[in-house]
Amino acid sequence: MARSPLTLAALAASAVPDLAVSGTRGHSADGAGEYDSALLSTRDGNTVIVRVPVSQVAETEQSSDLVALRALTTGIRSRLPFDVPQFLGQAPVGGTRAIVYGFLPGEHIAVEDVPPGDGLAGSIGHAIAAIHALPTSFVGEAGLPVLSAAECLSSTTALIESAASTGLLPVALRDRWRDAVADHSIWQFQPTVINGALTADSFLVEDETVTAVLGWSALRVGDPARDLHWLLAMNPEAADGALGAYASTRQVATDRQFTQRAMLYAELEVARWLLHGREVRDQHIVDDAVQMLDGLVDRVHSNTVNPLSTATGPILAIDDVEAMLDRTPGDRSSARPAGMRPVTEDDSATA
């Protein structure tokens, strides 16, 4: 049974000394049922949010997020042109923890609703570039993963082989993905700080400007293309605006190799969904992933552009991949990532 806002307010009061709550309300937009959460108004005019995970997946994600937020010190945050959630306190409850954060205002926007041009798309590109421009040293000092380009390649290969070992991966996809990781020309890159789990839902927006970025559980040093594959699901003008802003801010080229890796990561989301279903022993998820893989094969064979490597056939268009990933087994209205901790580079090596 879900905890009431009043119960959550009491937990928040025990987590944060001197927290004076003047009002409470539920926060149903948080985590698609993975958290009990509430917004609390305080007597000093501020708003905080309290969250209690209701599944092991959410517990793991929240714990990882907390480690990352602590690593994002005041000095690091000052380098970012947007806000990051502020941890305020925690209290034990029922084998997990209630976590209290400062509430960040703003609206979520669906990736397909990002307008063309340099406005919001440009702001998103600048925001991601700012993350990738952070000094890498703080990540290792916090005990978070620091992956070289070779390790990113190795873990991607391990993910592909894990999916292949299920016996459920179509041969056509297995071979194309293997060809992509065998093409070492696209794996020559400089690792950067990455969020590691960015989607459109990660951003809070006001007046076509990114004001906050949420969800830091996969913070690490790794392949910057991991943070950019979802941008390619935008309409072409918006994608160009975001990538152009990103490239100009970082003064780097989002070249063909960069885009090819981003496309590969998008396709591999289906493999991650399959492995997640096997891990949690949910045949419904497995069946859904198999259906998505079959659809991916059909669409790839009907597409004649954007090869993953010089050795592969055509890749599925990114918007088609993302459209399939928007579906979930059972209740199609709930978001798949909310029930699935993002699989990251180091996770895939042990999947």
pLDDT at 336: 43
d(CA 202, CA 200): 5
Cβ atoms 348, 162 nearer than 8 A: yes
Is residue 310 located within the same domain as residue 199? yes
pLDDT at 180: 92
114: pLDDT strictly greater than 70 = yes
CATH of the domain at 268: 3.90.1200.10
Q: What is the mean pLDDT of the chain?
A: 84
More confident residue, 26 or 276: 276
Is residue 10 located within the same domain as residue 150? no
Angle, nearest 10°, between helix axes 283-302 and 171-182? 70
348: pLDDT strictly greater than 80 = no
Identify which of 60, 114, 79 has the alpha carbon closest to the alpha carbon of residue 193.
79
Instruction: Report residue 279 CA to chain centroid gap.
Output: 19
Q: What are phi and psi of 79, to 5 degrees?
A: -85, -10
250: pLDDT strictly greater than 50 = yes
Q: What is the pLDDT of residues 74-91, one digit of tens each?
A: 999 999 999 999 999 999
Q: Which of 161-170, 286-295, 339-348 has the lowest mean pLDDT?
A: 339-348
pLDDT at 254: 67
Is residue 95 located within the same domain as residue 124? no
341 is in which domain, residue-wise? 111-348
Q: What is the pLDDT of residues 291-344, one digit of tens each?
A: 999 988 887 766 544 556 655 444 444 444 445 455 433 333 333 433 333 334
Q: What is the pLDDT of residues 210-232, one digit of tens each?
A: 999 999 999 999 999 999 888 87
d(CA 334, CA 285): 13
Residues in the chain: 351
Is residue 73 located within the same domain as residue 217? no
Is residue 139 located within the same domain as residue 93? no
65: pLDDT strictly greater than 60 = yes
Is residue 284 located within the same domain as residue 162? yes
pLDDT at 349: 36
Cβ atoms 86, 77 nearer than 8 A: no
Identify which of 165, 175, 142 has the alpha carbon closest to the alpha carbon of residue 64.
142
Which tokens in the block code for residue 144?
């978070």
Positive or negative, the CA dihedral 327, 108, 194, 56 is negative
Q: What are phi and psi of 253, to 5 degrees?
A: -100, 125
Q: What is the pLDDT of residues 238-248, one digit of tens each?
A: 888 998 899 89
Is residue 97 located within the same domain as residue 119? no
Q: What is the mean pLDDT of residues 137-149?
A: 96
Is residue 98 located within the same domain as residue 116? no
Is residue 45 located within the same domain as residue 137? no
Which tokens in the block code for residue 226?
């991991």
Is residue 124 located within the same domain as residue 12? no
d(CA 132, CA 195): 8
Residue the block writes with tokens 């937020």: 69
Is residue 135 located within the same domain as residue 208? yes
Domain's final residue, options 102, 123, 145: 102
> Which DSSP category does 147 fall into?
-
Domain's final residue, options 72, 102, 132: 102
pLDDT at 145: 96
163: pLDDT strictly greater than 90 = yes
Domain's final residue, options 64, 85, 102: 102
d(CA 283, CA 241): 40
User: Looking at the 3D structure of the chain, how many domains does it have?
Assistant: 2
User: Strands 192-194, 220-222: parallel, antiparallel or unpaired by DSSP?
Assistant: antiparallel
Extract the runs of DSSP E, i.e. beta strands, from 44-156: 47-53, 87-93, 96-102
Q: In a 10 Å sphere around its CB, with 0-12 CB exposed, 13-18 middle and 19+ buried, how is residue 162 labelled?
A: buried
d(CA 291, CA 274): 10
Identify which of 246, 228, 225, 13 has the alpha carbon closest to the alpha carbon of residue 126.
246
282-296 burial, b at 16+ Cβ within 10 Å, e below that, comes to: beebbebbbebbebb
Q: Quick one: what percent of the chain has pLDDT higher than 90?
A: 59
pLDDT at 235: 78
Return the bridge partners of 107, or none: 205
pLDDT at 303: 57
pLDDT band at 152 (very low <50, low <70, confident <90, very high): very high
